[in-house]
Amino acid sequence: MTGREVVELIKQKLGIPWNENSYRDTFKIGNPDSQVKGIATTVMVTFDMLKRANEAGLNMVISHEDTFWNDRDDTTDLTTIPLYKLKTGYVLKNDMIIWRIHDHMHAMRPDFTVVGSLRSVGIKGGDDAVMRPRVYTIPETTFGKFASQVKRLTGSRAFRCVGDPNARVSRILLGPGYATPRMTTEADVVIGGEQQEADGGFDDVEYVLDAVSLGMAKGLIMLGHVVSEQPGMEDLAKWMRSFIKDVRIEFVPAEEPFWT
């Protein structure tokens, strides 16, 4: 199979119309008509991830996020940068192909990014989840114990928490990546990937701080973008194996960028 044939199969199986106007969900570099020896799914095309995929014999990379450090993968101002030359040179030298699927993943039913993120933090019942968040009820525990569970299950080195660790919580609202939900009266804890601390549309950080000052049981957990959306790319690989039988498909995680 060629890279182009792989993408055509994915388009046929998505269950939703393909939006040809998506600037995200396109080939980013490499020859789409090259033969695919193996496919790697990942959340972000880091150089380290590229090397691990290539060393494993996987020359097609399907990523959820960008390759060249901006949402449009616009390389107009990058061509003279040494790192750009090294990264593109590595891809071309090893006959690799990079294709992104972002907008259409979030339009799928279910949305693998949400399903995977819920599973990764130990929340059950999200097998049909979509990006529009809903509250999940867990056995009542303290916010501190729940946060410790999330850290252990995700393996995250650097996620951040806001709130009283002794607060009793049971109602969880989750949104991966930039889809961090707005805290509501129905939720005790919001889990997200990223959000501004201030000057946003609604600042969960300040809201939770105020709630804690008034003795309300509210908490916020920020996983980081990679940690929150990466599990969905493992689910994507499993889904692809259901209809692509002749090419090896593996989940190759990008490394968590942050550490403390």
Please state whether the predicted TM-score (pTM) of the whole model is above 0.85: yes
Query: Tell me, what's the pLDDT at 191?
Result: 98
**Angle at CA of residue 22, ends 18 and 28, nearest 5°:** 110
Q: Which CATH superfamily is domain 112-226 in?
A: NIF3 (NGG1p interacting factor 3)-like (3.40.1390.30)
* pLDDT tens-digit readout, 23-57: 999 999 999 999 999 999 999 999 999 999 999 99
Q: Supply the pLDDT for residue 253.
A: 98
Fold match between domain 3-106 and domain 112-226: yes
User: 46 — phi, psi (to 5°)?
Assistant: -85, 160
DSSP string, 119-182: HHTT--S-TT--SS--EEEEEEEEHHHHHHHHHHHH--SS-EEEE-TT-EEEEEEEE-TT-PPP
CA dihedral of residues 29, 256, 182, 127 (deg, nearest 10)? 80
CATH of domain 3-106: 3.40.1390.30
Q: Say how far apart CA 136 and CA 163 lie, in whole Å.
A: 19
Q: Where are the domains of the chain?
A: 3-106, 112-226
Confidence bin at 18 (pLDDT 50/70/90): very high
Residue 234 DSSP label: H
- pLDDT tens digits for range 48-91: 999 999 999 999 999 999 999 999 999 999 999 999 999 999 99
Find tokens 């949305």 and name the residue.
Answer: 111
Q: What are the tens digits of pLDDT across the range 180-193?
A: 999 999 999 999 99
Strand-pair partners of 160: 222
In this predicted structure, what is the pLDDT of residue 49? Answer: 98
- pLDDT for position 256: 97
> Between vectors from CA 161 to CA 160 and to CA 166, what angle results, nearest 5°?
150
Phi first, then psi: what are they for 147, rounded to 5°?
-60, -40
Mean pLDDT of the chain, nearest integer: 97
Q: What is the pLDDT of residue 111?
A: 97
Token pair for 78: 């990058």
Task: Determine the pLDDT at residue 149.
Answer: 97
167, 171, 176, 181: CA torsion to nearest 10: -90
Distance from C-alpha of 106 to C-alpha of 211, rounded to nearest angstrom = 32
Give the pLDDT of residue 100.
98
Tell me, what's the pLDDT at 12? 97
pLDDT at res. 75: 97
pLDDT at 223: 98
DSSP character string of 27-76: EEES-TTSBPSEEEEESS--HHHHHHHHHTT--EEEESS-SSSSTT---T
Convert the pLDDT of each residue in 192-212 to its tens digit: 999 988 998 999 999 999 999
Residue of 256, 258, 257, 260 whose CA lies nearest to 120: 256
Note the pLDDT tens digit of each residue in 103-159: 999 999 999 999 999 999 999 999 999 999 999 999 999 999 999 999 999 999 999
What pLDDT is attached to residue 164? 97
Which pLDDT does position 60 carry in this prediction? 99
Q: What local confidence, expressed as pLDDT, does residue 57 receive? A: 98
